[in-house]
Chains A and B, each alone.
Chain A
């Protein structure tokens, strides 16, 4: 990283001194993380390392007990209505897709823009069709999620998040629940998105994706950030023993 401090308006997310406990279990330990606008970050680590908990704290799907979280200049201090503002600007894609099964693909995509932003239906549908086109499944708009393959569903989930015009996208193991032959189509969609300058944080073990797209790779273990580096340095010359052990396991 550069020696000159990043100007405040260039920071998309700042997390400082984050601690979280589930009962007696210390899930996040003194985590500090700064994400610049347009930056693409990949977080990896063994299961239970706190990586999902960390990104779920950014849109407050998980509350943390200690620390400061600032997203897009909005501070998420416990309670308060600013969490709604943040959620509108932060899109999230889940491991299990979590499409709404009782709604068609198009209805999935227009629900939040209409209910949260008050976008008129015609405009919301036009936007939705544009994004469905971008994730290359415009012809599925009137089907239900159960009629689509896993890879298609995950691409719809990405389109659904994009329909809210988010400034930041969070991906929580987006390819872990997919059959191997469908991983590529989802990763390609994410690579396209990265190419357009979206600020992205991805929890993933797809190391090819990390090399191709990430500005920084972060390794977490036991609730702590152990190591962070540019992908080439991270993969070719990891500094920490635990990082090396982890990389050996997944390669």
Chain B
């Protein structure tokens, strides 16, 4: 039975934004923790740590996000866990975000002039204080714009979780489309919602980039 695409459908899709946001927030929070660990490992003195972090980054940057979602989803089944789209999507997106944020933040840490580390070391500051008081605050300023840029990618990336049955914005669109069979209107609406989420972030990233450029040329 096909019903016409109407306001109630738009509201239904709008309500699904919260699941897209929730999944993005989980992936970003998890990815921030994982990414910091990866970035620190990637810039560590110990060679084995650097190699390990590099392999992790290569693995997740070199495979499609969709495959990572499939592997997390079906992997849980093989491990004998109940299939759970929430858990699988959170896990896959967290690992994915860890790799990308790790790489972005590695670059930011390395962009801090080496004289800063030397001066901190010469003053007797050990690794922890050197990082928290000198290197990371400067790296953070450099990383803000690319980090927000990646967050936009991540929000759009959560749409792939619809394929493993996670009912977020895209999946809700598919469900509505099955009932109304108005694909252009439905997915046009879905796309418009993604745009409303991502566009302000993109603007913010660009503004922060120019502000940072001005601050560093001063």
Contacts and interface: CB of A to CB of B under 8 A. Distances in A.
B137 A116 contact: no
B123 A87 contact: yes
A157 B119 CA distance: 9
Interface stretch (A88-96, A192-200, A218-226): A88-96
Given A94-B118, A101-B138, A84 B126 contact: yes
Contacts of B122: 59, 61, 87, 90-92, 94, 161
A100 B119 contact: yes
A4 to B, nearest CB: 34
A102 B138 contact: yes
Contacts, number: 60
A98 B116 contact: yes
A230 interface: no
A175 B128 CA distance: 31
A224 to B, nearest CB: 25
Interface in A98-156: 98-102, 111-112, 115-116, 146
Interface residues of B, number: 19
Nearest to B140: A102
A164 interface: yes
A98 B122 CA distance: 11
A160 interface: yes
Contacts of B113: 96, 98
A102 B122 CA distance: 18
Contacts of A84: 124, 126
Interface of B: 113, 115-116, 118-126, 129, 133-134, 137-138, 141, 218
14 contacts: A61-B122, A84-B126, A87-B121, A87-B124, A88-B124, A100-B119, A100-B120, A100-B134, A102-B138, A111-B123, A112-B123, A116-B123, A116-B125, A164-B123
